[in-house]
Copies of this chain bind each other. A is one copy, B any other.
């Protein structure tokens, strides 16, 4: 299905670093909500989701380096939705975009391995460059996914501190006798794996940290990012959700160089005719602040 691109030549972290430095930090979400399909004059169907996704890929190509399909919006159409997603993923690969499959999968043993196989195996119909995962069953339960990723030059983003308020009670809970917050314990675990696996400046194992949170409440001190291999951060919460892409340095401190600024609604709501210029506008806003 895929020619595997440069996936075999470099780690995900190395490829991500190259994309961030040449294309910037913006990642465009591919979220075919029912209401967005309606606004885009598309049917609320697998066909509509496919047309939507392919248009977002087309508008993103050459402007940004990363796209992130929210798989829930394809899954609701069953196998037809997955066939639509496969075509969107193929377009994204052909366009040279880095794809983060936002699937938030989590399981253990052979089931975890099967999820990794689905999304991270070169040549798989659902092949992406990285996937999001959920570590409620322990970061260790995801070992088969992490190993597969390392072998195949792929990436994994583990949910740590998510952007919604309902997540706080579990994610701020205290682990063990040291009382480390759950989100911090996950960040530390992922960071240790990056130090052990990687030699480059950016690791292949990342975390999800919401941009609108008080990260101190999750035990996370962004000034204390590791000096060696940095753990990349997939950061929702920008655009419609309130955070500003110009504030990445302030919000993420020592992690800023590896932050992926994820925006969905803020660009998708522009509609099929204006999405390309909406993306250009978001890029120029972020660029002006940094330049």
Give chain A's interface residues, CB within 8 Å of chain B: 31, 33, 70, 72-73, 75-83, 85-86, 104-112, 114-115, 117-118, 121, 124-126, 134-141, 159, 162, 164-171, 173-176, 179, 182, 185
Contacts and interface: CB of A to CB of B under 8 A. Distances in A.
20 contacts: A72-B114, A76-B114, A78-B82, A78-B118, A79-B82, A79-B85, A81-B118, A104-B105, A106-B106, A108-B162, A108-B167, A136-B159, A136-B167, A137-B162, A137-B164, A138-B164, A138-B167, A138-B168, A170-B175, A182-B182
A57 to B, nearest CB: 18
B80 A125 contact: yes
B173 A159 contact: no
Contacts of A77: 118, 125
Contacts of A174: 173-174, 179
Given A118-B72, A170-B138, A108 B164 contact: yes
B134 A136 contact: yes
A182 B170 CA distance: 6
Nearest to A158: B136
A249 B104 CA distance: 35
A245 to B, nearest CB: 21
Contacts of A115: 72, 75-76
Contact of A171 (B81, B104, B136, B167): B136
Contacts of A108: 162, 164, 166-167
A77 B86 CA distance: 11
A182 B182 CA distance: 10
